[in-house]
Amino acid sequence: MSQQNAKNPAGRRSWLGLVVVLGPVLLVSMDGSILFLAMPRISQALSPTADQALWILDIYGFAVGSLLIAFGNIGDRYGRLRLLMIGAAIFGIGSAAAAFAPTAELLVAARALMGVAGATLLPSALAVLSGLFSDPRRRAQAIGIFAAAFAAGFAIGPIVGGMLLERLWWGSVFLINLPVIALFLVFAPALLGEVRTNRPGRVDVLSVATSAAGLLLAIYGLKHAAAEGLSTTAVLANVAGLALLVWFARRQRVLEHPLMDLSLFRDRVFTVAVITGLLPLAAWSAAAYLAGIYLQSVLDLPIMQAALLALPGATVLTATCIVTPMVVDRVGKRAALIACHFSVAAGLLFLLLATTDDGIGWYVASTVIAGVGYGISFAVVADTTVGAVPTERAGSAGAIAETSNEIGNALGIALLGSLAALTFRLQGPDLASTLDETLQLPGLAPATVVNAKAAFVAGLHVAATVAVLLHVALGILALRWLPRSGMEQPAPATALATTADQTEGTPR
């Protein structure tokens, strides 16, 4: 168990420990989006092929999403601070290698290394917080701040990248990681201390391999389908990924010490929380992706202005992450989970008012209102999943929450983005598969440009409508399915451990 005294309330050292942990968390999320504006510069410097450019953008998210569950369990069993230190050091090495990569191939490799390191940092950092803050309310506040840092990092990534690229070369977007990593490596051992658990058994290597390979293939298949359309490669990748994940789930049921405790999903609160981690992220990623194209290619806004328009929504999202735990103390997690979905649905409705001529105000209003729901999702999901398990499983539970976010991110762009692309192909001028490709064709007539932009806006409306309906449906499901009581405080770890013992038939 933790070397810290679980009976002591959170003190100054715990809050300083939280500040130290937030540094790598902010970097991991920011590096998922910071290249959005840097790719033109990278393309000029390294001349990557189309496939290489896609891998430069995607390999980081692939690595993070596919390895979260594995590293969450490794941290639980062999020491979370140790894994955090190793992961932070590797993240720094990968950042330096990426900044000075002389070729596209080496940049892809460096980004992959950063993704592997990022997968070690997120679940262990979340689990460390559950050890620093044993009081449920203090822990909820800390996790709310953690969620705010993670969400803010992804939101400000393009803005930070744009500011750096105005003055420095493209590698600067990676070098900014190094001072934060250095400070973490210096202060983390003093403020955090190692957290060891008495969780028995070794990590099942075959489960690690199948979970990582299954998630990697599934996410790759989804993103490949979004970028290239439905193809044999995408279908085979998805089928192989799903087959591996099914085999992984079956294996967990027979292992004495499983990598993922599937019995957790028998708890309705835990299940709804995980789904709440997935669906809002799907809506967020799809809306951000499509709105970015809308602002730049339909309304013809400069890149930096388009990025700055996301600030109001990002501010609301971050603030909501911080205040949500205090609100939950009053209204309960059930009300928060329900409000999350209806808030996202209400915000996305404003996108339906955007037109080819006017939509900036509707876009900002959409991000602000939906940002409340996104913020609730980040804050409540992490606290609910971690609070639903005993301390020795905090890392693996946190990994499930983070993995649902990563899968949601992939699903949003792959499914909702593909739905928007299909609408564009059906209603557009049928000259190219995307709006940007169409607008780059020489000699376009003004009527063709208008038609192409109108078809893209129609696709945006279709994707937003589907996302609204899904969130309304899940909000109604939560309203009917979640218990009206018993959700205000997490169940004691000892009681949950006993329940898990009885479920698995395994001595703890």
* CATH number reported for the structural domain that contains residue 17 in this entry: 1.20.1250.20
- Please, what's the b/e burial string for 460-479 (b: 16 or more CB within 10 A of its CB; e: otherwise)? bbbbbebbbebbeebbeebe
> Are 72 and 174 members of one domain?
yes
| Position 385 pLDDT exceeds 80 | no
Which range, 145-159, 284-298, 352-366, is most confident?
352-366
Q: How far apart are the first and last CA of the chain?
A: 12
**Spatial separation of the C-alpha atoms in residues 68 and 144, rounded to whole Å:** 20
The counts of H helices and E strands in the chain are 20, 0
Task: Kindly indicate the confidence band of residue 6, based on its pLDDT and cuts at 50, 70 and 90.
Answer: very low
Q: What percent of the chain has pLDDT over 70?
A: 81
| 197 alpha carbon, distance to own chain's centre | 27
Supply the pLDDT for residue 227.
58
> Are 214 and 190 members of one domain?
no
Supply the pLDDT for residue 366.
95
Cα–Cα separations (whole angstroms), residue 45 to 79, 163, 169, 253, 269: 41, 19, 10, 50, 49
| 313 alpha carbon, distance to own chain's centre | 17
CB-CB contact of 410 with 222 (8 Å) = yes
> Are 414 and 347 members of one domain?
yes
Give DSSP secondary structure letters for 224-280. HHHHH-S-HHHHHHHHHHHHHHHHHHHHHHH-SS-SS-GGGGGSHHHHHHHHHHHHH
> Are 146 and 212 members of one domain?
no
Listed residue (53, 325, 422, 319) closest to 430, CA to CA? 422
| Position 96 pLDDT exceeds 80 | yes
Q: Which range has the worst mean pLDDT, 142-146, 315-319, 484-488?
A: 484-488
> Are 182 and 214 members of one domain?
no
In one-letter notation, the amino acid at residue 359 is: G
The sign of the CA dihedral 402, 407, 408, 409 is positive
Which of residues 200, 220, 243 is at a domain's end? 200
**Spatial separation of the C-alpha atoms in residues 145 and 124, rounded to whole Å:** 16
CB-CB contact of 33 with 230 (8 Å) = no
- pLDDT one-digit tens code per residue, 237-283: 889 999 998 998 899 888 877 777 777 777 777 777 788 878 888 88
Considering only the C-alpha atoms of the chain, give the largest distance between any 2 of them, rounded to a whole number of Å. Answer: 73
In one-letter notation, the amino acid at residue 503 is: T
Average pLDDT for the chain = 78
Q: What is the dihedral of CA 168, 174, 177, 179, to 10 degrees?
A: -50
R_g of the chain, CA atoms, integer Å: 22
Average pLDDT over residues 286-304: 83
Beta carbons within 10 angstroms of residue 433's beta carbon: 15
Q: Which two tokens stand for residue 249?
A: 């789930």
**Spatial separation of the C-alpha atoms in residues 277 and 32, rounded to whole Å:** 17
Q: Which residue has tokens 């998805």?
A: 238
CB-CB contact of 65 with 407 (8 Å) = yes
> Are 310 and 409 members of one domain?
yes
Beta carbons within 10 angstroms of residue 505's beta carbon: 7
Task: Kindly indicate the confidence band of residue 375, based on its pLDDT and cuts at 50, 70 and 90.
Answer: confident
Which of residues 236, 254, 272 is at a domain's end? 254
**Spatial separation of the C-alpha atoms in residues 385 and 400, rounded to whole Å:** 8
**Spatial separation of the C-alpha atoms in residues 366 and 408, rounded to whole Å:** 19
Which of residues 254, 287, 319 is at a domain's end? 254
Supply the pLDDT for residue 324.
83
**Spatial separation of the C-alpha atoms in residues 274 and 272, rounded to whole Å:** 5
> Are 241 and 176 members of one domain?
no
Q: What is the pTM of this model?
A: 0.72
> Are 16 and 80 members of one domain?
yes
| Position 492 pLDDT exceeds 70 | no
Average pLDDT over residues 23-29: 83
Q: What is the dihedral of CA 271, 275, 278, 280, to 10 degrees?
A: -140
> Are 148 and 245 members of one domain?
no
Scanning 47-79, the segments in alpha helix (DSSP H) are: 50-78
In one-letter notation, the amino acid at residue 218 is: A
Supply the pLDDT for residue 430.
80
**Spatial separation of the C-alpha atoms in residues 18 and 26, rounded to whole Å:** 12
> Are 316 and 339 members of one domain?
yes
| 210 alpha carbon, distance to own chain's centre | 21
Supply the pLDDT for residue 496.
31
**Spatial separation of the C-alpha atoms in residues 333 and 489, rounded to whole Å:** 9
> Are 176 and 277 members of one domain?
no
What is the residue range of 40's domain? 1-200
| Position 471 pLDDT exceeds 60 | yes
Supply the pLDDT for residue 226.
58
Task: Kindly indicate the confidence band of residue 502, based on its pLDDT and cuts at 50, 70 and 90.
Answer: very low
> Are 140 and 17 members of one domain?
yes
Listed residue (58, 77, 460) closest to 286, CA to CA? 460
10 Å CB burial of residue 11 (0-12, 13-18, 19+) is exposed
Supply the pLDDT for residue 223.
66
Task: Kindly indicate the confidence band of residue 233, based on its pLDDT and cuts at 50, 70 and 90.
Answer: confident
3-state secondary structure of 286: helix
Which range, 48-57, 398-407, 437-446, is most confident?
437-446
414 versus 98: the higher-pLDDT residue is 98
Number of domains forming the structure of the chain = 3
340 versus 332: the higher-pLDDT residue is 340
CB-CB contact of 182 with 109 (8 Å) = no
Supply the pLDDT for residue 182.
92
Task: Kindly indicate the confidence band of residue 107, based on its pLDDT and cuts at 50, 70 and 90.
Answer: very high
Supply the pLDDT for residue 8.
45
